[in-house]
């Protein structure tokens, strides 16, 4: 019945579902709502409105469920959380590992979330993902991501983060995707590394942070901007305010000195006590004004289909198949 209703709705009319943890709406969990309808379309997205509350559940947005939107009212009051970590044993008696720990996993393309917190509440016990993204053209606005080690895994595709808050301490933004973070707040809870990009060598961009802010939990915390999970790791910070917690050398080679020749680490216009670029490692670049000006969300995330993360428009004839 739900499938028929979705298929028969007027073009441009979104399907809207409401979730309330207190039971006041049709759906009490986010996953129930995700499973209730098939994919949306660019003209008729599926909008899941999540009422304030704490939703302790694992949420999985399957590959076929394109054009889904999670919309909360206030990120500080709308929290999706779970507490898996890599050391928990699975049914085979072996640790489940990092990649099976996310509280929320997005495999679908064209997903958007607004005003929602994604949390892994396991604490400082090792790898524990709040979010894993394998979808392409994925957008997060006014969201919070809370964890410790490996808070968010951007495994593939392209993602755009705007006005988001991300907390952790070791490699808490990591993966092979191309992602642009605009006006985001990156918060280090303990000594560690903000990023661990595994950018493929044929991918021009990895993680770009523009007009962001880097802070720390206490004045004793010291953090690196990143370390290379793979040899061609690419991370750029543009016009970002950095607290004293950022180590003067800025970057770490993960004890692979040969990667210093291949990583693509760069800064431009960074400010604050942590932006002591004169003391940065010699294998990180200082961009020119012209180079920095060319690094925009539209250019970084365009891909083959010309995706514009601000408008959501793209050429559907050039999207991935299957």
Indicate which residue of 136, 150, 191, 305 is catalytic.
150
Element (H, E) at 298: helix 297-300
Q: Tell me the C-alpha distance between 25 and 20, whole Å.
A: 5
Element (H, E) at 31: helix 30-36
The Cα-based distances of 244 to 27, 143, 253, 315 in angstroms read: 45, 25, 21, 43
Catalytic, 150? Answer yes
Strands (E), 147-298: 152-154, 158-162, 165-175, 178-182, 185-197, 207-210, 213-216, 223-226, 234-238, 241-242, 264-268, 285-286
Q: Tell me the C-alpha distance between 212 and 274, whole Å.
A: 13
Indicate which residue of 107, 109, 136, 171 is catalytic.
171
Start-to-end CA distance of the chain, whole Å, equals: 26
Q: Tell me the C-alpha distance between 243 and 318, whole Å.
A: 42
Tracing tokens 């050039």 back to the chain, one arrives at 318
Exposure letters 211-250 (e unless 16+ CB within 10 A, then b)? ebbbbbeeeebbbbbbbbbbbbbbbbbbebbbbbbbbeeb
Phi, psi dihedral angles at 105 (to 5 degrees): -125, 125
Are 150 and 123 in contact by the 8 Å Cβ rule? The answer is no
Catalytic residues: 150, 171
């Amino acid at each position: 019945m739900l499938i028929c209703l979705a298929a028969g709705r007027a073009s441009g009319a979104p399907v809207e579902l409401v979730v309330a943890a207190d039971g006041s709406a049709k759906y009490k969990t986010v996953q129930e709502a995700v499973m209730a309808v098939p994919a949306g379309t660019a003209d008729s997205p599926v909008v899941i409105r999540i009422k304030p509350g704490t939703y302790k559940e694992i949420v999985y947005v399957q590959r076929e469920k394109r054009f889904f939107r999670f919309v909360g009212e206030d990120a500080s009051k709308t929290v999706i959380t779970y507490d898996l970590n890599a050391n928990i044993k699975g049914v085979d008696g072996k640790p489940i590992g990092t990649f099976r720990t996310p509280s929320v996993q997005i495999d679908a393309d064209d997903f958007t979330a607004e005003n929602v917190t994604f949390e892994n509440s396991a604490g400082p016990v090792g790898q524990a993902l709040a979010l894993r993204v394998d979808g392409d053209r994925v957008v997060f606005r006014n969201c919070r991501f809370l964890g410790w080690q490996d808070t968010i895994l951007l495994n593939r595709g392209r993602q755009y983060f705007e006005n988001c808050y991300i907390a952790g301490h070791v490699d808490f933004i990591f993966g092979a995707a191309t992602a642009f973070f605009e006006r985001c707040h990156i918060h280090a809870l303990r000594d560690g590394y903000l990023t661990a990009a595994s950018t493929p060598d044929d991918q021009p961009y990895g993680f770009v942070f523009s007009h962001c802010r880097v802070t720390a939990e206490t004045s004793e915390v010291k953090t690196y901007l990143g370390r290379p999970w793979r040899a061609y790791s690419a991370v750029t910070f543009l016009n970002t305010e950095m607290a004293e917690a950022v180590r003067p050398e800025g970057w770490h080679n993960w004890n692979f000195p040969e990667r210093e020749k291949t990583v693509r680490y760069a800064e431009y216009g960074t400010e604050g006590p942590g932006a002591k670029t004169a003391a940065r490692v010699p294998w990180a670049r200082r961009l020119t004004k012209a180079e920095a000006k060319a690094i925009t969300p539209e250019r970084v995330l365009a891909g083959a289909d010309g995706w514009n993360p601000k408008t959501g428009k793209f050429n559907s004839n050039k999207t991935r198949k299957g």
